[in-house]
A and B are shown apart, each in its own frame.
Chain A
Amino acid sequence: MSEMPKVTEVTENLLEVRDVRKSFRVPHAGKNKLQALDGITLDLARGQTLGLVGESGCGKSTLARTLMMLERPDEGTVRFDGVDPFSLRGADLLKFRSRVQMVFQDPYASLNSRMTAADIIAEPWRSHKELIKNRQDRDMRVRGLLDLVGLGVKAANKFPQEFSGGQRQRIGIARALALNPDVIICDEPVSALDLSVQAQVLNLLNDLQQQLKISYVFISHDLSVVRHVADRVAVMYLGKIIENGPTEAVFERPNHPYTAALMSAAPTLDGEQRKQRILLKGEVPSPINPPSGCRFRTRCWKATDVCATTSPTASVDPEIADHSALCHHPMLLEGSGLESVSV
């Protein structure tokens, strides 16, 4: 669709998502459906990290579930290495599933407390039997994975509750690595961890990417984490990607007012240096009954009549071609418009 931010061709896209839509029926909403994904287009190159940013209810997790094939899109296509995974059946489908794995947010809820670390890590091989030869091979591979995530072989026979939160997340990462995936979808992988441990896990994910050339889809609400890990960032608002581009471009020169507001709302360590912040009024509208035209117009200080009637098309950064935003009044072309707002 023409209204989506255009993404320049990156060589060897592992994952291509084109105009994906997904809605859910919800109780007490009459004929209205909850539009969780409203025309999502994005690419992920091999060995790269795509950061997905947005507030609760923006569709980040539905997008992650769609990439995991846990949700079938109503419209649009997903291409993984050129193949539509939703067309696969049987052995081909099983094979595909091994290529996309997930690391979950809560390392307490996502590990079975009745299984040892070794059993948890080896469990994916029960569905993918061809990947291991025999019991010895299994044990050796588990030891290798434990070593790879920095836990050491002694961890193999312990149960999850014997580990700290950071160590549990390492087990979750080892389990995701067991099937040698091409892509790992990390859904808020460090937000349940303490700061000092968070850095250890981020470093581990980075090392693994260097070693194994994995791609990550990294979902997080923490902008400083995303800035640190991502090559490209997609900012979501009410089911749409409203800005998309190389990480530094999006952070240094936000084009969409929402991106600018989001960046300015996040507290920073050197906050004293900043003189003003954009304080948005209100909260994210319901995705069951989203605003007409531009989804963000109800909270936007630049909104005009056209924003209520027409969905905005992509506006490209004049200097960086693969950085664009869905906005009628993009900040890079028209300025921030903040001067005219009463303080």
Chain B
Amino acid sequence: MTNKASLEERIGQWRQYLRRRQAVHSADVAELEDHLRSQIGALREAGLDEDEAFLVAVKRLGDLDTLSREFAIEYSERLWKQLVVPSGGEASSPTDLRDAALAVGLAVAAGVAIKIPHLFGLDISGPSANMSFYLRALAFPG
């Protein structure tokens, strides 16, 4: 079910989104894109794959920039809607669960600062972002 769009395609979607909204100067978009790519690079170095790095980078940029936050919310909502929960009660694949967890995590994160994992003493903001927290927190109905 995973979105097969390449990293470049996704960055392109993000860039198009920003350029179309209001009057964002292309220079500002270029500056934000450099920031996005730097963040992606750092997350990949920390061990995240392309999907994960893009999602987290978009979320973090969303904390700093209003238009990017709108993109982050829409993107995570779209991811969530793309998930098909089987009606026959079959188990979702691990990839489905991981993407769902990421989408839910981002939707929450994009709206408010994440405090829940901190209560459990987990680091979710550093390079060693503990994604498995969301996997454990996510419960699919049977």
Do these two chains really belong together in a complex?
A: no
Q: Which residues of A contact B (CB under 8 A)?
A: none
Residues of B in contact with A (beta carbons under 8 Å apart): none
